[in-house]
Amino acid sequence: MKSSEEKAVSGMSAGRSAMRMGPAELVQAAAMARRFYLEGKSKIQIAEEFGVSRFKVARVLETALERDLVRIEIRVPAELDAERSDALRARYGLRHAVVVESPAEADESPDPENLGEVAADLLGELVTEGDVLGLAWGRSTIHMAAALDRLPPCTVVQLTGVYDAGTAERGSVEAVRRAAQVSGGDAHPIYAPMLLPDAATAAALRHQTGIARAFEYFDKVTVACVSIGSWEAGISTVHDMITEEERSHYATLGVAAEMSAHLFDAEGRRVGRDLGERCITVKADQLRRIPEVVAIAGGQRKAAAIDAVLRSGLVTSLVTDTAAADSLLMAGAAPRPALNRADPDE
């Protein structure tokens, strides 16, 4: 039930909305709007200051909007697409989704460097003091690390081996060092290839002191940053590292995406699990237990792969571009929300 004052104000609001505001009303409306929108005062505080009811304050603020005395703008940097970001977050149940404007050459060059720059800013928000930050191999994570300029004190651990041990200085190892340098925390790199010739060699490497020390941190990681690859040459690390015969074998299993040396079909189910025995990488179950897993991937060529990985439940947040986002938002049936963190194989 409305009070008599509420009813009176409500009736006046409808009747006076078409009336011309006098100078005293204009000045009062501007003052109240300044208190409310710029100074953060409540309607009750404003009512007390001006000696009126809070209902009148509400009516005056409403009138100020109607008469264009107050203009409310929601502005984000030009390179960020807030509408697509929110739509993507809702579709996949993500904790965070940030969509960046695609450069003109996005179709030819997946994961443009500006994704890494935005991801670096996002990590600056997500990482808190005492966290353990995990970085997996990927061009986008390397770009992200290079763009870092702020991180709270945290431990940084490498989650996968490198694409080529000979390029460690320009890849994952350097990314881990860079992040640790920015944060002032300890670094735990992995000086080993991501993929080994056989399971026995991989097992032996996992027991080496430095690598074993890094592996001990995998269950302590609180924020992880990963890349996503499509199953095609030049866009998937694993695809480029195995033989043609092996590629054909995994293709028959329906592989559509790769993340941290784990393979996924279009529904987000893991395939080719035997490959993991030859890899130096964090386990999928360990990724699933990490509270915040941020994937960085963009470009229309990667859209299907991004969709597959998001369906896996391993990722909680995504940094992508408009080219990939448009494809993802036009996809078919709504996938499993990422925040369920459920394994589609179960």
Provide, rounded to the nearest whole percent, the portion of the chain with pLDDT above 70.
86
Q: What is the mean pLDDT of the chain?
A: 85
Of 106-115, 157-166, 311-320, 330-339, the least confident: 106-115
Residue with tokens 């074998």: 249
DSSP-assigned states of every residue in 275-294: GGGGB-B--HHHHHHSSEEE
User: The tokens of 198 are what?
Assistant: 């056989």
C-alpha 48/C-alpha 282 separation (Å) is 60
The predicted pLDDT at position 1 comes to: 44
User: What band does 157 get if pLDDT is binned at 50, 70 and 90?
Assistant: very high
pLDDT in tens, 310-336: 999 999 999 999 999 999 998 766 677
pLDDT in tens, 2-46: 444 444 444 444 444 445 666 777 878 888 988 898 899 999 999
C-alpha 92/C-alpha 53 separation (Å) is 45
C-alpha 346/C-alpha 344 separation (Å) is 5
- In the predicted model, what is the mean pLDDT of residues 269-287? 92
Class of 80-340 per CATH?
alpha beta
- 193 phi and psi, to 5 degrees? -65, 155
C-alpha 135/C-alpha 142 separation (Å) is 9
Question: With contact defined as beta carbons under 8 Å apart, do 100 and 115 qualify?
Answer: yes
pLDDT in tens, 75-104: 656 578 888 999 999 899 999 999 998 876
**So where are the chain's domains?**
23-66, 80-340
| Torsion angle defined by CA atoms of residues 257, 293, 132 and 126, in that order, rounded to the nearest 10 degrees | 140
The predicted pLDDT at position 156 comes to: 97
| Torsion angle defined by CA atoms of residues 147, 149, 150 and 155, in that order, rounded to the nearest 10 degrees | 60
Of all helices (H) and strands (E), which one includes residue 60? Answer: helix 54-66
C-alpha 257/C-alpha 306 separation (Å) is 7
pLDDT in tens, 132-148: 999 998 888 888 999 99
Question: With contact defined as beta carbons under 8 Å apart, do 317 and 293 qualify?
Answer: yes
Asked whether the predicted pLDDT for residue 121 surpasses 60, the reply is yes
Q: In what order do the strands lie in the sheet with 155-158?
A: 96-100, 317-321, 292-296, 223-227, 132-135, 155-158, 187-188
Where does 23-66 sit in CATH, by number?
Answer: 1.10.10
The predicted pLDDT at position 13 comes to: 41
